[in-house]
C-alpha cells in the first residue's frame, strides 16, 4: 500500500459515517484518495475470507463485514451498536491476555475489550491469536490484526480488527507437533536399540566414513562420538587395509559375517572383534551406507588359543608316547627274536648231545645213567615248549587283527575233529548246539577254541567216556560261547590264577602243560574287546565261557575290516 495514502485515508475509511469528513480532504488528490479508499473499503468489507470488525473508541461494533458474518454466524445487525469484539472472544483468553499485558507494559489492564486493543491504542502494531466464539457457541482459532483508527488530531476514534480463520493452520501445526513427537520417539527408540546392544555398533557412508556410533563403539576405540563421526572407520583397526576391504566386501556382497578384525583404541589397547555388517537403504532403495556390529571375541579367542595349545600339547605327547611305544615294541620284537633264535640253540645242543651219549655210549651206562640223561632231555624239551608258548603269547599282542564274520560251527567242528584224531584211543562225546556267528580274527579265535577244547579233552582224560558240550547264544549286544567238560575241574578258590601266564592249577605229573593256553585265550579275547571266565569244582568238571562284542547295528563297516 502507498504509505502516503495509507494513514489518513485508512483512518477515515475505517468508519463509513463518522470518519468521512469531506471538508478535511483537500482538492483533487483527496478525491482520488477517497475513490481509492472507497474501492479499498469495499474490497475489505466484501471479503468473505477475512473478518473485518470495526468498533468505536469504546469497542462497540460499528462494522461487521461479510467475512465476519460468515465466520462468526452473526448477522451484522445482531452485533452492530450492541456488543464489543470482547463479547465474542474466549473470556479466559481475555483474562490471560490482560494479565500478560499488565505485566508486560507495567499498567493494569482490564480483561475486556481493552485487553484486545490496548497495544494498538498505544500505536504498537498488534497481531495475535485468539479464540472467537460463534453465535452457536462453537469456537475457532483466529489470527487478528488490530489497528487503532484516529482522526485528524490523532485521537482514537475506533479500532479495526481484521481476522482470519486459523483452524487449518492450527491443524497443520498440531499435525506437525504430533509428527515431530513421533519422530523424536522413533529416534529415541532407535538410539535405545543401538545403545542396548552389547556389540559396538556403527554406521558408515558408502565410503567408510563413520556416520553414527553407540557407546560400546566409543569404549572400543576410546574416542568420543564426536571424534568418531566423520572419520574413516579403517583408522580404528590394526589392519586398516583389511578393515577397508571389509567395507568393500559389504558393498559388493550386501553383507559379511564373522569377519575378524582387531580394533585398536587410542590408548593402544587391542580387542579382537568379530565383525558383521550389512548395507542399508532409504525408502527409495537408495544405498545409504553400511551398518556394522563388532563383537568382542577376545575371550573366545583366548579360549580358542588355549584349546589349540592344549591340543598341540596333547598331540605332541601322543606322538612322544607313540614313539616310545614303537621303541618298546621294537625292543620287545628284538627280545623275542633273540629268545626264539638264541635260546633254542643251546637246548637243541643239550638234547642232541644227550642223545649222542645215549647212542654212542649207551652200552657204557647203566639204567640209572640212561634215566638221568632222559631227565636232562625231558627238561630240555619242556623248556623248548615253554619258549614256544611264551613266544606264541607275545605274538598275540603284536599281531594285527583281521575281523570277519566267523562261522563258529564249522570252526569248532574242525577243531574237535583234529583233537579226536590226535586222541583216537580216547572215547570222547562232543555235543554241539548251533553257534551264532560273531566278528573276529579267524586264526586267533580258532586258537581260543583249540585251547579250550584241548583243555577239555586233556582234563577229562580220567573219564572212560568224556562228555564235552559246546554251545553259544546271543544276548545283550554280545555273543557268548561255552565249553563244558566233565573232567577234573578245579577249585574256584584259585580261579584268579586260571588266566595267568605259566599259572597252573594242576601238578605237572597229573596234567602236563606250560600254563599258557588260557592266558593266550584271554589275551586274544581282550584284543577283541571280549572276555573269558571259567567255573568248576574239583572232580566236578569245568565250564569256560567267552564273549565277543557284536558290532552296533549301523556299524556295517566293522565286519571284514582290519582294525
Partner 1 sequence: MNANDQELQILLVEDNPADAELTMDALRESGLVNTVQWVKDGVEALDVLFGHGATSAAESHRLRLILLDLRLPRVDGVEVLRAVRADQRTRRLPVVVLTSSREESDLVRAYDLGANSYLVKPVESEEFMKAVGELGLYWMLLNKLPGEAK
Contact 144, 161 (CB under 8 A): yes
Determine, following the binding rule CB under 8 A, whether residue 443 of this chain makes contact with partner 1.
no
Determine, following the binding rule CB under 8 A, whether residue 347 of this chain makes contact with partner 1.
yes
Residues 6 or more apart whose CB falls under 8 angstroms from that of 438 comprise: 405, 406, 408, 445, 479, 548, 550
Task: Identify which of residues 6 and 338 has a Cβ nearer to partner 1 in the complex.
Answer: 338
Determine, following the binding rule CB under 8 A, whether residue 330 of this chain makes contact with partner 1.
no
How far is the C-alpha of 244 from the C-alpha of 236, rounded, in Å? 11
DSSP string, 300-361: HHHHHHHHHHHHHHHHHHHHHHHHHHHHHHHHHHHHHHHIIIIIHHHHHHHHHHHHHHHHHH
Part in contact with partner 1 (CB under 8 A); list of ranges 23-31, 287-295, 313-321, 380-388: 380-388
Determine, following the binding rule CB under 8 A, whether residue 422 of this chain makes contact with partner 1.
no
How far is the C-alpha of 389 from the C-alpha of 155, rounded, in Å? 146
CA distances from 369 to 348, 358, 363, 366, 469 (A): 20, 9, 11, 5, 46
Part in contact with partner 1 (CB under 8 A); list of ranges 16-24, 346-354, 483-491, 535-543: 346-354
Binding-site member from 349, 375, 431, 465 for partner 1 (CB under 8 A): 349
Task: Identify which of residues 185 and 333 has a Cβ nearer to partner 1 in the complex.
Answer: 333
Q: How far is the CB of 396 from partner 1 (least distance, A)?
A: 13
Going by C-alpha positions, the residue among 396, 473, 464 that lies closest to residue 433 is 473
Q: How far is the CB of 534 from partner 1 (least distance, A)?
A: 29
Task: Identify which of residues 66 and 391 has a Cβ nearer to partner 1 in the complex.
Answer: 391
Task: Identify which of residues 189 and 337 has a Cβ nearer to partner 1 in the complex.
Answer: 337
User: Cα dihedral sign for 114, 120, 126, 127?
Assistant: positive
How far is the C-alpha of 140 from the C-alpha of 136, rounded, in Å? 12
Determine, following the binding rule CB under 8 A, whether residue 386 of this chain makes contact with partner 1.
no
Mask of contacts with partner 1, 305-324, x by CB under 8 A? Answer: --------------------
Determine, following the binding rule CB under 8 A, whether residue 380 of this chain makes contact with partner 1.
yes
Task: Identify which of residues 337 and 494 has a Cβ nearer to partner 1 in the complex.
Answer: 337
Determine, following the binding rule CB under 8 A, whether residue 376 of this chain makes contact with partner 1.
no
Determine, following the binding rule CB under 8 A, whether residue 514 of this chain makes contact with partner 1.
no
How far is the C-alpha of 444 from the C-alpha of 399, rounded, in Å? 9
- List 536's β-bridge partners, or say none: 542
Binding-site member from 329, 381, 473, 529 for partner 1 (CB under 8 A): 381
Count of chain residues binding partner 1 (CB under 8 A): 22
Binding-site member from 69, 199, 296, 351 for partner 1 (CB under 8 A): 351
Determine, following the binding rule CB under 8 A, whether residue 341 of this chain makes contact with partner 1.
yes
Contact 228, 213 (CB under 8 A): yes
Task: Identify which of residues 393 and 499 has a Cβ nearer to partner 1 in the complex.
Answer: 393
Task: Please report, as residue ranges, which positions from 254 to 273 form the binding site for partner 1 (by CB under 8 A).
Answer: none
Determine, following the binding rule CB under 8 A, whether residue 362 of this chain makes contact with partner 1.
no
Contact 394, 336 (CB under 8 A): yes
Strand order in the sheet with 210-213: 210-213, 200-204, 287-296, 270-281, 255-264
How far is the C-alpha of 441 from the C-alpha of 179, rounded, in Å? 85
Nine-digit cell at 107?
499498567
How far is the C-alpha of 419 from the C-alpha of 468, rounded, in Å? 12
Contact 53, 85 (CB under 8 A): yes
Task: Identify which of residues 103 and 332 has a Cβ nearer to partner 1 in the complex.
Answer: 332
Determine, following the binding rule CB under 8 A, whether residue 354 of this chain makes contact with partner 1.
yes
Determine, following the binding rule CB under 8 A, whether residue 352 of this chain makes contact with partner 1.
yes
Q: At what angle do helices 517-527 and 367-398 cross, to 10 degrees?
A: 10
Determine, following the binding rule CB under 8 A, whether residue 356 of this chain makes contact with partner 1.
yes
Binding-site member from 206, 384, 436, 551 for partner 1 (CB under 8 A): 384
Binding-site member from 136, 284, 299, 342 for partner 1 (CB under 8 A): 342
Binding-site member from 97, 150, 295, 377 for partner 1 (CB under 8 A): 377
Nine-digit cell at 153?
488530531
- Interacting residues with partner 1 (CB under 8 A): 337, 340-342, 344-349, 351-356, 377, 380-381, 384, 388, 391
Amino acid at each position: 500500500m502507498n504509505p502516503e495514502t495509507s494513514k489518513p485515508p485508512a483512518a477515515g475509511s475505517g468508519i463509513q459515517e463518522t470518519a468521512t469528513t469531506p471538508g478535511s480532504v483537500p482538492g483533487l488528490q483527496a478525491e482520488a484518495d477517497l475513490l481509492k479508499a472507497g474501492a479499498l473499503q469495499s474490497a475489505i468489507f466484501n471479503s468473505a475470507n477475512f473478518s473485518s470488525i470495526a468498533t468505536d473508541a469504546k469497542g462497540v461494533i460499528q462494522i461487521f463485514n461479510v467475512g465476519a458474518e460468515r465466520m462468526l454466524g452473526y448477522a451484522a445487525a445482531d452485533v452492530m451498536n450492541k456488543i464489543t469484539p470482547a463479547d465474542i472472544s474466549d473470556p479466559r483468553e481475555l483474562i490471560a491476555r490482560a494479565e500478560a499485558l499488565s505485566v508486560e507494559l507495567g499498567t493494569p489492564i482490564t480483561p475486556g475489550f481493552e485487553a484486545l486493543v490496548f497495544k494498538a491504542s498505544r500505536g504498537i502494531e498488534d497481531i495475535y491469536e485468539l479464540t472467537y466464539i460463534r453465535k452457536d457457541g462453537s469456537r475457532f482459532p483466529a489470527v487478528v490484526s488490530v489497528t487503532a483508527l484516529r482522526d485528524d488530531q490523532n485521537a482514537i476514534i475506533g479500532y479495526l480488527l481484521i481476522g482470519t480463520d486459523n483452524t487449518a493452520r492450527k491443524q497443520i501445526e498440531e499435525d506437525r507437533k504430533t509428527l515431530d513427537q513421533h519422530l523424536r520417539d522413533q529416534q529415541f527408540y532407535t538410539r535405545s536399540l543401538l545403545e542396548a546392544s552389547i556389540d559396538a555398533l556403527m554406521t558408515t557412508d558408502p565410503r567408510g566414513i563413520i556416520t553414527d556410533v553407540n557407546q560400546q563403539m566409543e569404549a572400543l576405540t576410546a574416542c568420543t562420538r564426536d571424534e568418531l563421526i566423520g572419520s574413516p572407520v579403517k583408522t580404528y583397526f590394526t589392519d586398516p587395509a583389511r578393515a577397508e576391504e571389509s567395507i568393500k566386501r559389504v558393498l559388493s556382497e550386501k553383507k559379511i559375517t564373522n569377519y575378524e578384525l582387531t580394533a585398536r583404541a587410542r590408548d593402544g589397547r587391542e580387542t579382537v572383534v568379530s565383525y558383521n555388517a550389512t548395507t542399508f537403504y532409504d525408502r527409495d532403495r537408495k544405498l545409504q551406507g553400511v551398518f556394522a556390529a563388532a563383537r568382542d571375541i577376545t575371550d573366545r579367542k583366548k579360549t580358542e588359543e588355549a584349546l589349540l595349545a592344549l591340543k598341540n600339547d596333547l598331540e605332541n605327547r601322543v606322538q612322544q608316547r607313540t614313539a616310545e611305544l614303537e621303541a618298546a615294541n621294537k625292543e620287545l620284537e628284538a627280545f623275542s627274536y633273540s629268545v626264539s633264535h638264541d635260546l633254542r640253540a643251546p637246548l637243541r645242543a643239550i638234547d642232541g648231545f644227550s642223545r649222542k651219549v645215549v647212542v654212542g655210549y649207551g652200552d657204557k651206562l647203566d639204567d640209572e645213567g640212561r634215566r638221568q640223561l632222559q631227565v636232562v632231555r625231558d627238561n630240555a624239551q619242556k623248556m623248548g615248549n615253554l619258549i614256544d608258548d611264551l613266544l606264541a603269547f607275545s605274538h598275540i599282542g603284536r599281531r594285527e587283527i583281521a575281523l570277519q564274520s566267523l562261522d563258529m560251527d564249522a570252526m569248532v567242528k574242525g577243531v574237535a575233529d583234529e583233537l579226536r584224531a590226535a586222541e583216537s584211543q580216547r572215547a570222547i562225546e562232543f555235543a554241539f548246539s548251533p553257534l551264532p556267528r560273531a566278528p573276529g580274527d579267524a586264526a586267533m579265535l580258532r586258537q581260543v577254541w583249540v585251547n579250550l577244547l584241548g583243555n577239555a579233552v586233556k582234563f577229562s582224560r580220567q573219564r572212560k567216556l568224556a562228555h564235552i558240550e559246546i554251545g553259544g547264544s546271543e544276548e545283550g549286544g554280545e555273543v557268548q560261547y561255552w565249553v563244558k567238560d566233565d573232567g577234573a575241574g578245579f577249585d574256584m578258590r584259585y580261579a584268579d590264577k586260571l588266566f595267568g601266564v605259566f599259572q597252573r592249577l594242576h601238578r605237572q605229573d597229573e596234567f602236563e602243560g606250560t600254563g599258557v593256553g588260557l592266558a593266550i585265550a584271554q589275551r586274544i579275547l581282550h584284543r577283541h574287546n571280549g572276555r573269558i571266565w571259567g567255573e568248576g569244582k574239583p572232580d566236578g568238571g569245568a565250564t569256560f565261557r567267552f564273549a565277543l562284542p557284536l558290532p552296533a547295528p549301523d556299524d556295517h563297516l566293522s565286519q571284514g575290516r582290519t582294525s
